[in-house]
Each structure stands twice: as structure tokens, then as C-alpha cells.
């Protein structure tokens, strides 16, 4: 299913490349993320979100937009524990870094090239995992480790023009399926939880070949 989703993206792009006008976009920003189900709360993990995208506008007034991206996206979780958890032999924090190559497909409604909002799906491929827990460093194999190599997210987003071809983008995304199942043990009880990526993204966007027309009311 995920491979079919990937192929449909590029079928759309190739099928229309020579018959329609596309706009190239450069995306540069950051993620604030957490992993739901890891017993840590808050969007405390900072990561890079960068990559190119292409936009196709359609409709009588070009009010609809379809955007395909290829993005390097860093997600994960971070928590600094209180002093009561400090052990002289261990570092008092949890730090999880998940690096993905991400391919979002977004469907937007465009209001006069000033503000756009919409929804989409995003397929991600895990490229690197690094987990530090109480000083222990775990570098898992992305294919055979505890974290799924594939992640499919649903997303909603808003983008608005700051000046000329420069836009600002806010996005929220959440995993449709679990990225890991983990068992916890506090010395008294054990329990199991499924984990999901939960991400806020903030980016600057530059629309390379967009035609900016002055419009009078």
C-alpha cells in the first residue's frame, strides 16, 4: 500500500510535466516533535526540515494547489529528568533522534496567492536512529531495529505570503500507524505502549517561478 502511494505521486508528476506549468519551491525550517507513547510529553525535540517541492495549480482561478515534496526531516523525543533521577554513572536525560526522507503530498485551497490551507499524506523512510537513555547510546539498524522503517502520516497545514515570493508555513503531522511498540518496566509494574510521531513544523518557503500580479480591489 505504501509503495503504491509512492508510485502514484510520481505518476502524477511525470504525466503532467510537459503539459502543465509547475512552480518550484525551496523549503527551509525546523520540526518540534514528540513521540506519543514513550512516557515523555512535550514538543521538545528540535530537528531540521529542508528540501525542494513542486506545486501544480488548477481551477478557474488557480484556487487549488497540489504540492509534492522531497524532504529531509528530523523527528524524535527529548526529556531532561529532574535531579531526583540523577545517577553518578548515568546522564539525566532521554534523547531520541529519528532521521527520515519524507515525501508529502498536500492538497491546498489558495486564496488569491496570499494564504493557503489544506490537508495531505506523507510517506517517510527511516534513514538513521540514535537513542540515548540514561547515558546508554543505542544505534539501531533501520531495517531490523525496533522502529519501523516506513511511516505514513496525515497532515494539515497553513501557508501565507510574507513578501513577494517568500511564504511562511505551519504544519502539523501525526503517524497513522505505530512506529514502535515498547515495553516499560518501573521495577514494580510492566506495561506496553504503541508509539507515534507527533510533529509541528515551521518553515520559510521560496516560490521560484511564481508570477506575482498586483491586484486592485
Confidence band, pLDDT 50/70/90 cuts, at residue 214: very low
Given this model, what pLDDT does residue 217 score?
A: 42
Confidence band, pLDDT 50/70/90 cuts, at residue 213: low
- Reported as type and span, the H/E element at residue 167 is strand 166-175
The neighbouring-strand residues paired with 211 are none
Helix (H, G, I), strand (E, B) or coil at 25: strand
Domain boundaries, the chain: 31-207
Considering the domain delimited by 31-207, tell me its CATH architecture: Beta Barrel (2.40)
For residue 199, is pLDDT > 80? yes
Beta strands in 41-111 (DSSP E): 45-58, 64-69, 71-80, 93-111
Between these two residues, 120 and 141, which has the higher pLDDT value? Answer: 120
Q: Cα–Cα distances in Å, from 40 out to 73, 121, 130, 195, 197?
A: 21, 26, 17, 11, 12
Model confidence, pTM: 0.83
Span 50-97, pLDDT tens digits: 999 999 988 888 899 999 999 999 999 998 876 555 454 455 688 999
How far apart (Å, rounded) are the C-alpha atoms in residues 118 and 203?
16
Amino acid at each position: 500500500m505504501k509503495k503504491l502511494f509512492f508510485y502514484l505521486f510520481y505518476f502524477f508528476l511525470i504525466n503532467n510535466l510537459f503539459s502543465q506549468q509547475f512552480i518550484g519551491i525551496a523549503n527551509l525550517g525546523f520540526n518540534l516533535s514528540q513521540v506519543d507513547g514513550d512516557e515523555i510529553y512535550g514538543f521538545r525535540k528540535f530537528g531540521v526540515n529542508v528540501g525542494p517541492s513542486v506545486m501544480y495549480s488548477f481551477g478557474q482561478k488557480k484556487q487549488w494547489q497540489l504540492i509534492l515534496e522531497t524532504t529531509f526531516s528530523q523527528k524524535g523525543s527529548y526529556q531532561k529528568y529532574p535531579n531526583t533521577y540523577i545517577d553518578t554513572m548515568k546522564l539525566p536525560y532521554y534523547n531520541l533522534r529519528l532521521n527520515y526522507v519524507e515525501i508529502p503530498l498536500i492538497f491546498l485551497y489558495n486564496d488569491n496567492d496570499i494564504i493557503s490551507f489544506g490537508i495531505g499524506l506523507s510517506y517517510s523512510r527511516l534513514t538513521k536512529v540514535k537513542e540515548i537513555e540514561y547515558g546508554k547510546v543505542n544505534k539501531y539498524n533501520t531495517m531490523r531495529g525496533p522502529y519501523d522503517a516506513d511511516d505514513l502520516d496525515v497532515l494539515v497545514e497553513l501557508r501565507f505570503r510574507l513578501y513577494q515570493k517568500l511564504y511562511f508555513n505551519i504544519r502539523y503531522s501525526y503517524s497513522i500507524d505505530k512506529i514502535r511498540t515498547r515495553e516499560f518496566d518501573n521495577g514494580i509494574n510492566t506495561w506496553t505502549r504503541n508509539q507515534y510521531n507527533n510533529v509541528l513544523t515551521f518553515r520559510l518557503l521560496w516560490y521560484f517561478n511564481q508570477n506575482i500580479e498586483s491586484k486592485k480591489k
